[in-house]
């Protein structure tokens, strides 16, 4: 996925060729608002904070006949964070947490894809957040593919994974253990090029 995408990580979420030319290339449809990078984290163990990154770009490659050749690249603009609370957003973007001034983007680049069932697989890759790169795995599901009403061919995927914030240099030691991890959810539709 890739020119500018968001957290998460992770995505996330998109697929780029890992070496085999048969896979079709797709651009994630961010202009049509058919892609989302969202997260959920406990709030002190009492409720949840839900948020999203609004600005990101990316692409993926996908071949249903050879799914192992699939791949994704994404880049997220960290300052596009939105948790529906401006003061909280400023705090999360500060050096206390994401350090958006020093680390304005998060990226995901896939390193492999292993099918696990019909339209399902395990996407492996490297997520870079706050200057720290970690290998992650994300189960993904093909939501559907086919022609759209405007003459394009589309495919859509969703996936989620759990991130440990300390792995990315985000110190959550002052908060309850329930807040030390967050769930990253990515869903996107791509237009075949």
What single string gives the DSSP state of each residue in 43-88?
Answer: ETTTEEEEEEE--EEEEEEE-TT-GGG-EEEEEEEGGGEE-S-HHH
Whether the CA torsion 141, 144, 148, 153 is positive or negative: it is positive
54-74 residue pLDDT tens? 999 999 999 988 999 999 999
154-184 residue pLDDT tens? 999 999 999 999 999 999 999 999 999 999 9
DSSP β-bridge partners for residue 50: 40
Q: What is the pLDDT of residue 32?
A: 86
Instruction: Please provide residue 50's backbone torsions phi and psi, each rounded to the nearest 5 degrees.
Output: -110, 135
Q: What is the pLDDT of residue 9?
A: 32
Whether the CA torsion 84, 90, 93, 97 is positive or negative: it is negative
Q: What is the pLDDT of residue 4?
A: 35
As a whole number of Å, the CA-based R_g of the chain is 16
pTM recorded for the entire structure: 0.86
d(CA 23, CA 76): 24
**Residue numbers of the chain with a pLDDT score lower than 70:** 1-22
């Amino acid at each position: 996925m890739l020119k500018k995408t968001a957290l998460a990580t992770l995505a996330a979420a998109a697929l780029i060729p890992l070496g085999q030319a048969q896979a079709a290339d797709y651009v994630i449809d961010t202009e049509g608002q058919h892609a989302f990078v969202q997260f959920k984290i406990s709030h002190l163990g009492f409720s949840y904070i839900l948020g999203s990154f609004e600005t990101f770009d990316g692409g993926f490659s996908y071949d249903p006949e050879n799914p192992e050749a699939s791949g994704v690249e994404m880049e997220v603009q960290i300052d596009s964070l939105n948790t529906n609370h401006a003061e909280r957003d400023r705090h999360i973007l500060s050096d206390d947490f994401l350090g958006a001034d020093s680390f304005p983007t998060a990226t995901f680049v896939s390193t492999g894809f292993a099918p696990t069932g019909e339209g399902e697989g395990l996407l492996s890759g490297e997520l870079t957040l706050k200057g720290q790169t970690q290998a992650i795995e994300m189960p993904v599901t093909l939501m559907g593919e086919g022609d759209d009403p405007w003459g394009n061919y589309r495919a859509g995927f969703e996936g989620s994974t759990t991130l440990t914030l300390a792995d990315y240099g985000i110190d959550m030691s002052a908060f309850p253990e329930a807040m030390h991890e967050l769930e990253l959810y990515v869903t996107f539709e791509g237009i075949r090029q």
